[in-house]
């Protein structure tokens, strides 16, 4: 909770310091394809890179530098482990192919700061913070062994570049990389953090 | 208006794409789909037993009730494979009337509901599936450890091993080992060897010497 508060205050500070209310932009929609590489202790659950990630951002451009909006999406993680013998606490021996399946659906408030508005290649920094619907399932063979759906805090600092299709256009393509901070305390799991790379296409939705 | 229609279409498209998750069950081969579960009585020394007798038919148990006992080609092959594995571990197969140390029953449990099976009921009714009289111990009750934490909604091969050696002294027939096989294709003849091998591989304590 404390972390959420800090992020919110930091976002507000960033907005105020850049002329928050000098509104001259409009709405854009960005569609993203993303891949995610589990990091840290999340690799104990799934270490495979996820190539199944899609997302959408609806951003309101307050001025040519600053945009504020909402982001959501879906990233699917999956890993199957070779057959192994597991000794259960009650003495039962279980031989199974264990598979872990995780889907994350972040719902984030996002602030984005464009470092070089008007340039051909425009670097940006962004920060998203909010919640994450995480669905975790573990299978022993074809049988569901464990499962949990939780809504928990999520944050995503991101850096990237935006390349407009035409000079000054609100339509363009962007490349970015970020860190998905996703705490998930459950059954010995601490978090499902990952490093994400994404490519997106932006469309203006009118002023 | 056109912009908002585009927005709606694109957002729907993203969520359709986002629902492209890898199905954990479809991504398994039949062999990978199977699980092998064994449980044994930790106080039993399996090397203290030297002989066994195995049932000559398979009990079909559905909804915790005995439906029938069958002896088709699959049943015969399963029983033979298990008996062969016991022999390889040093046990001698004897007839029921020759005072076997172990009694072995083979069951096919069919449950078509989902939920956690109460194997306690399974054992409470065990008397009905395999009358202790068949082991030469009329009136005795079964007891022992059970596997009870797995969801069942399909056919399961379940094999039980009982201590007949000490039954006269204890007045009960104690369950000392239980093996369960679940998953795709377990009732194909070709999977019998794999299933029995897997159960024995993870039960290294089953050995006469």
Q: Is the pLDDT of residue B147 over 60?
A: no
**Closest A-chain CA to B6:** A205
Q: Residues A75-104: what's their mean pLDDT?
A: 91
List CB contacts of B84: < 8 A, sequence separation 6 or more. B196
The string of pLDDT tens digits covering residues A119-173 is 999 999 999 999 999 999 999 998 887 888 999 999 999 999 999 998 878 899 9
Give CA separation, A163 vs A30, A124, B148, in Å. 13, 11, 59
Query: A-chain residues within 8 Å CB-CB of B35?
Result: 94-96, 140-141, 143
Residues in CB range of B102: below 8 A, 6 or more apart: B49, B51, B52, B53, B86, B91, B161, B162, B163, B164, B165, B176
Counting residues of chain A whose pLDDT is more than 70, the rounded percentage is 87
Distance of residue B186 Cα from the nearest chain A Cα, in angstroms: 13
pLDDT tens digits, one per residue of B53-98: 999 888 888 777 788 888 889 999 999 999 999 999 999 999 999 9
- Average pLDDT across chain A, whole number: 86
pLDDT at res. B170: 86
Give the confidence band of B119 by pLDDT, cuts at 50, 70, 90. very low
Which chain B positions have a beta carbon within 8 Å of A96's beta carbon?
A: 35-36
Neighbours of B58 (CB within 10 A): 23
Question: pTM, whole model, 2 decimals?
Answer: 0.77
Strands A183-186 and A189-191: antiparallel
CB interface of A with B, residues 162-191, below 8 Å? none
Residue B7, CA distances (Å) to A16, A77, B4 in order: 29, 27, 5
B7 three-state secondary structure: helix
Has residue A48 got a pLDDT over 50? Answer: yes
When comparing pLDDT for B187 and B20, which is higher? Answer: B187
Cβ(A110)–Cβ(A72) below 8 Å = no
User: Pick from B45, B153, B198, B159: which is nearest to A97 by CA?
Assistant: B198
Contacts of A144 in chain B (CB under 8 A): 151
Q: Are the Cβ atoms of A94 and B17 closer than 8 angstroms? A: no
- For A143-153, write each residue's pLDDT tens digit: 887 888 999 99
Per-residue pLDDT, A14: 40
pLDDT above 60: residue B115: no
In DSSP terms, A82 is beta-bridged to none
H-state helical runs in B94-191: 119-124, 126-129, 167-170
Banded pLDDT at A200 (limits 50, 70, 90): very high
User: Mean of the per-residue pLDDT values for chain B?
Assistant: 81
Q: Do A94 and B36 touch (CB under 8 A)?
A: yes
pLDDT at residue B128, rounded to an integer: 57
Share of chain B above pLDDT 70, in %: 72
Residue A31 touches partner B, C-beta closer than 8 Å: yes
Specify whether the CB–CB gap between A111 and A133 falls below 8 A.
Answer: no
pLDDT at B129 (0 to 100): 61
Cα B46 to chain center, whole Å? 19
Work out whether strand B155-163 and strand B102-110 pair parallel, antiparallel, or are unpaired. antiparallel
| C-alpha gyration radius of chain A | 20
Q: What share of chain B is helix, strand, coil (3-state, %, to 5)?
A: 35, 30, 35
pLDDT at B141: 66
- The pLDDT tens digits for B40-57 are 999 999 999 999 999 988
Cβ within 8 Å, pair A205-B7: yes
pLDDT reported for residue B116: 40
B146 or B62, greater pLDDT: B62
pLDDT of A161 = 97
């Amino acid at each position: 909770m404390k972390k959420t508060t800090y992020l919110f205050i930091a976002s507000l500070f960033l907005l105020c310091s850049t002329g928050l209310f000098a509104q001259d932009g409009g709405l854009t929609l960005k569609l993203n394809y993303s891949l995610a590489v589990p990091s840290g202790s999340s690799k104990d659950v799934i270490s495979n890179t996820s190539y199944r990630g899609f997302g959408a951002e609806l951003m309101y451009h307050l001025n040519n530098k600053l945009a504020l909006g909402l982001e959501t999406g879906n990233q699917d993680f999956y890993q199957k482990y070779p057959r192994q013998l597991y000794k259960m606490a009650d003495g039962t021996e279980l031989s199974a192919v264990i598979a872990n399946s995780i889907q994350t659906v972040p719902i984030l408030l996002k602030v984005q700061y464009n470092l070089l508005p008007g340039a051909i290649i425009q670097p940006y920094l962004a920060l998203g913070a909010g919640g994450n619907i995480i669905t975790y399932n573990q299978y022993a063979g074809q049988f569901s062994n464990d499962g949990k759906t939780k809504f928990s805090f999520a944050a995503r600092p991101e850096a990237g570049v935006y390349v407009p299709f035409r000079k000054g256009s609100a339509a363009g393509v962007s490349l970015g990389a970020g860190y998905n901070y996703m705490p998930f305390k459950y059954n010995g799991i601490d978090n499902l953090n990952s490093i994400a790379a994404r490519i997106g296409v932006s469309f203006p939705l009118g002023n | 208006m056109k912009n908002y229609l585009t927005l709606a279409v694109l957002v729907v498209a993203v969520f359709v794409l986002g629902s492209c998750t890898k199905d954990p069950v479809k991504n398994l081969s039949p062999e990978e789909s199977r699980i092998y579960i064994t449980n044994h009585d930790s106080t039993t020394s399996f090397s203290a037993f030297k002989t066994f007798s195995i049932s000559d038919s398979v009990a079909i148990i559905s909804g915790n009730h005995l439906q029938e006992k069958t002896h088709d080609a699959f049943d015969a092959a399963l029983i033979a494979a298990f008996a062969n594995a016991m022999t390889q571990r040093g046990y001698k197969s004897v007839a029921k009337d020759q005072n076997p140390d172990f009694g072995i029953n083979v069951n096919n449990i069919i449950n078509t509901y989902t939920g956690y099976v109460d194997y306690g009921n399974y054992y409470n009714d065990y008397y009905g599936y395999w009358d202790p009289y068949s082991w030469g111990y009329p009136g005795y009750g079964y007891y022992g450890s059970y596997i009870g934490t797995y969801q069942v909604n399909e056919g399961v091969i379940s094999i039980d091993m009982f201590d007949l050696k000490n039954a006269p002294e204890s007045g009960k027939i104690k369950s000392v080992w239980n093996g369960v096989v679940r998953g795709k294709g377990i009732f194909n003849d070709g999977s019998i060897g794999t299933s029995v091998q897997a159960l024995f591989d993870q039960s290294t304590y089953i050995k006469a010497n």
